[in-house]
Amino acid sequence: MRKLLLLLCFTSAMFVVGTLDSQAQDMVYQPRNPAFGGDTFNYQWLQSSAQAQDKLKDPSAAASSSSLLNRDPLKDFQESLNRQILSQLSRQLVVSQFGEGALAPGEYTVGNYQIEVTEGRSGINIVITDISNGNQTTVTVPYY
């Protein structure tokens, strides 16, 4: 009887253990660095961590940061005004030379530059040649 009772307790215990849900979790490697597939939100943290550990300082960085603090607002205003005036003049020059709207295919001469505009398969090709030294620059403006 005692063996039967032990056997009954053992089988019922095994039945209870066997019916419990056993759970496990997969172990998956997840990189931290965004350059190797990690989360992009980690970039700022990695950057600030690397800068905090950096013992070498750029000598020119201190000079450039101090020059930003010592800028003259009137000189900045003058430079900004000069840039705006030159931009407006260049815009008027382009409109007077090429007209309003799209740049038509053809050859144009402006000062020491010869500009050749052609239409290609990938877009509008603009070849700018400096007549004085023969240097050439090619710009391709793709179609929309």
Token couple for 143: 């179609």
pLDDT over 90, % of the chain: 3
Residue-wise pLDDT for 41-89, tens only, equals 888 888 888 888 888 877 666 666 566 677 888 889 888 988 888 788 7
Three-state DSSP state, 66: helix
pLDDT category of residue 9 using cuts at 50, 70 and 90: confident
CB atoms within 10 A of CB 117: 19
Number of H helices, E strands in the chain: 4, 4
- 140 alpha carbon, distance to own chain's centre: 22
The domains of the chain are located at 105-144
Residue 99 has pLDDT above 90, yes or no: no
Is the entire prediction scored with pTM above 0.75? no
